[in-house]
Structure 1
């Protein structure tokens, strides 16, 4: 039966038809689609974030605008803010936290960038330097006036805990609290503390912007690199492009803006090439030291964003084997009708 099918496929009349079908099939499978985010939308961008649905969020400090686009470049929402805001992250696109040191408030916006809640700190606290929204009920506050770290439930307006935190607040860019550790990021370094204000790790960071937590891992986003904090090794650089203006990542890919153009890098291509950080005076940890291999720079294979950020499993494509079987069946039908 199989021999009959193959003889039917490769018969003189059907050979060209079969070749055309195969070429069309593979071209469709590997076709790449350009992401139409033009230069004007990326120009003057102060920050860029990507969620796991492939949506992009652009913040511009010039006019304090915060805009959301889908992977096709269609605008999904826009906020025109009156003062500067810091976007904590977009890992939960249904509730995105934005903090303003000037306005002393924290906003939560939904998937269309409509404000759903606002927390005002002016009446209850001193001067809040930085916030970290742990979930939809609790936020951590760094109060510069009282030099304290405050755990606050904004749903019922109660202070859960308050810890003395007499550290420098200069150049502070982000705060994160996870598993009884306090992560402080400045433009020049990262520091990790316990709740007893004991410093357990410190390392130099160039142009630190914000934290990103992925399960148990803490990442640092800088202007042109992404660095992972590994307690046994220190800071491990997992992505870098010296020419990038802005970088970010989601669970599927790395993103960067370079020369006002948006590029995507496959996460799989960088998974096995993470350079290890050198041990040196800029990294101080109280944990037991381990031998660390010499750092090696890895230049990622650059490719413009030419397809939406989605896996083939999610796209609903059928396996190649079943598709080929269908082609064989179709060719058999063609042979029967005498084409």
Structure 2
């Protein structure tokens, strides 16, 4: 891609069709490019927005804490719907679109997690959730578990506000869910949450400016250039190498076993006989070839 398109990128996302989405803080622009670098759509936003996910390119959710609203845009980045939270709630610190009907909202003023159906404008559930929202970066709710990403850690809670897991994570930016797998996209690495092991790094490049992934590849911007890595190749390089088996060292011996000498002599004689046979075949082939040529001339 043109380096000018990547130079001032604050964030990059890739959908499963290979389209790229570039967000720039400088002018609050959100631009979509196809896999060949051709611009498909562009939004000029007036305040900062956080792009939740582009996995469904037909319905991309964006949340603005400053504007206290959420937008949904289509495959050409045209606005489909806008939700204004100021009229109905207190101060929403973070919003997560679970599907095309429901949102999960963290209300900082009431310290509650709200399950909200925006299609029919009804609150389904409300749960006490008294945590500090100051360093909050992202929120994800899946199978009755709440995933919280802050500037320093990742935490997992139940809907009853019981902490199940917490671990330090540096430079995290957002969550990504692939079926049952929960991923954390950081500045230069991607981590996967494994319940038995915790957070496991599946991709990392310390020199990368921005990283992301879709179902086919890992993406990174490094040196204002875009790089793609095959998932399979990265998996293979991450696999631990099997220890090489050392050959058994036998003690030195000055004696030559008789059977080895006999085998060598036999091999020599067989080699000579095979050489003689080969010479005879070559001579016979030459005679035949000469006879054929002579007949053709005559």
The two structures have a TM-score, normalised by structure 1, of: 0.70
Q: Deviations over 1:103-134 (max 9, x none)?
A: 00000000000000001000000000001000
Aligned residues: 240
Q: Which of 165, 177, 182 pairs up with 1:213?
A: 177
Q: Which of 77, 83, 99 pairs up with 1:113?
A: 77
Unaligned ranges ≥5, structure 2: 241-298
Q: 1:122, 1:275 → 2: CA distance?
A: 50
Q: 2:165, 2:195 → 1: CA distance?
A: 8
1:188 matched to which residue of 2? 152
* Structure 1 position 143 matched with structure 2 position 103: no
The 5 A counterparts of 1:67-106 are: 67-106=31-70
Distance apart, 1:273 and its partner CA? 5.0
* Structure 1 position 47 matched with structure 2 position 25: no
Structure 1 or 2: larger strand share? 2
1:267 matched to which residue of 2? 231
Distance apart, 1:79 and its partner CA? 0.2
Q: 2:148, 2:213 → 1: CA distance?
A: 20
Q: Is the 8 A contact 1:66 1:80 kept in 2?
A: yes
Q: Is the 8 A contact 1:180 1:195 kept in 2?
A: yes
Q: Which structure would you say has the larger RCO, counting Cα contacts within 8 Å and 6 or more residues apart?
A: 1
Q: 1:118, 1:235 → 2: CA distance?
A: 35
* Structure 1 position 252 matched with structure 2 position 216: yes
Q: 1:135, 1:241 → 2: CA distance?
A: 32
Q: Secondary structure at the residue paired with 2:99?
A: coil
Stretches (4+) displaced over 2 A: 271-276
Structure 2 vs 1, CA of residues 65 and 194 (structure 1 numbering), >3 Å: closer, same or farther? same
The two structures have a TM-score, normalised by structure 2, of: 0.79
Q: Is the 8 A contact 1:236 1:275 kept in 2?
A: no
Q: 1:60, 1:87 → 2: CA distance?
A: 12
1:170 matched to which residue of 2? 134
Distance apart, 1:171 and its partner CA? 1.4
Q: Is the 8 A contact 1:94 1:111 kept in 2?
A: yes
2:196 matched to which residue of 1? 232
If you compute each CA radius of gyration, which structure gives the higher value, 1 or 2? 2
